[in-house]
Amino acid sequence: MNNHEIKIATKQIFYESWHKAGVTKVKRLLNPNSGKFLTYQEFVNLFKVKSSFTVYYGLLSAIKNKWKISPTGRQRQTRRQNWYDNEENLSNAALHKITVENKFQKPTNENRIISYGVEPSEIQKLYKWPFSFTENTKLIMFQFKINHNIIYTKAKLKRANITADDICYLCKSEQHTIQHVFLKCSHVTLFWNEFFDWWSQVTSENIRLSDSTILYGPTNPLKPHQPLRLALLLAKYFIYKCNLNEQSLLFSLFKIQLRENIMTERYIAIKNKTAQLFNEK
């Protein structure tokens, strides 16, 4: 047995169960309607196999490398590299070869974003969304830090031996991670409930946003619309500030800050417009 086989021994088990579940050809990993590769969630739902999204997307990227698949499918014209019609069997040995020959993509925070159901091809859009409605560099940087998983949490500080514990200061029961701070903490879920109730009172819109939209922003350029995007980002910034100072998440306080911030946003927009006009003259 050589080193390669030892290293990927755990993956071999994955693929064996995949093969049994019907993942026998590259084609089966494609959505017949869109012709695109299945998302991780679709894959799991369809084949009912246990896996992790890193293994799944690692395999997809290896397949794409092997057959030099362009993500746009532009190569569909070239018969030899026609990936949609590729009938190559996904036997265990073939999968091994693919994954050994083509190293898995380096795990970055993109894997985490993908785990929230975001398509890898849409990640670029996520990185751009704050620019579509704010010129506030502080807010843009803040979202950037969330995307790259580099904002302050007690879990991080504990790893760096800066704090003694990594327990959330609000609920005092769970680990203080980015996901916990913005999505999972019982205090933050109450805050979001108040936020959405308030939003529907003010705008008569009933909205439900996915975890991925709350944390990383929307991938659809039109939905949600700009005012909600700004309010959403400001709400996250408020939560983050409260966490930095270990303060409670008071929705009434957020509303006051939101009003002030929106006025500042308008001010920045007016100021920039004036500067632009001034430069043109």
Binding stretches for Zn ion (CB under 5 A) = 168, 170-171, 185
Residue 155 CB, nearest approach to Zn ion (Å): 11
What b/e sequence results for 57-86 when a residue is b if at least 16 CB atoms lie within 10 Å of its CB, and e otherwise? bbbbbbbeebbebeeeeebeeeeeeebeeb
Q: Which is nearer to Zn ion, 185 or 231 (CB)?
A: 185
Residue 197 CB, nearest approach to Zn ion (Å): 21
Residue carrying the six token digits 């933050």 = 188
What's the sign of the alpha-carbon dihedral 200, 205, 206, 212?
Answer: negative
Residue type for position 92: N
Q: Which is nearer to Zn ion, 170 or 233 (CB)?
A: 170
**CB contact at 8 A, 19 and 92:** yes
Element (H, E) at 245: none
Residue 169 CB, nearest approach to Zn ion (Å): 8
Residue 112 CB, nearest approach to Zn ion (Å): 19
Q: Which is nearer to Zn ion, 139 or 170 (CB)?
A: 170
Q: Which of 146, 142, 151, 139 lies closest to 113, judged by CA?
A: 146
Contacts of 256 (CB under 8 A, 6+ apart): none
Residue 44 CB, nearest approach to Zn ion (Å): 28
Q: Which of 65, 63, 62, 44 lies closest to 53, judged by CA?
A: 44
Q: Which is nearer to Zn ion, 29 or 181 (CB)?
A: 181
Q: Which is nearer to Zn ion, 21 or 167 (CB)?
A: 167
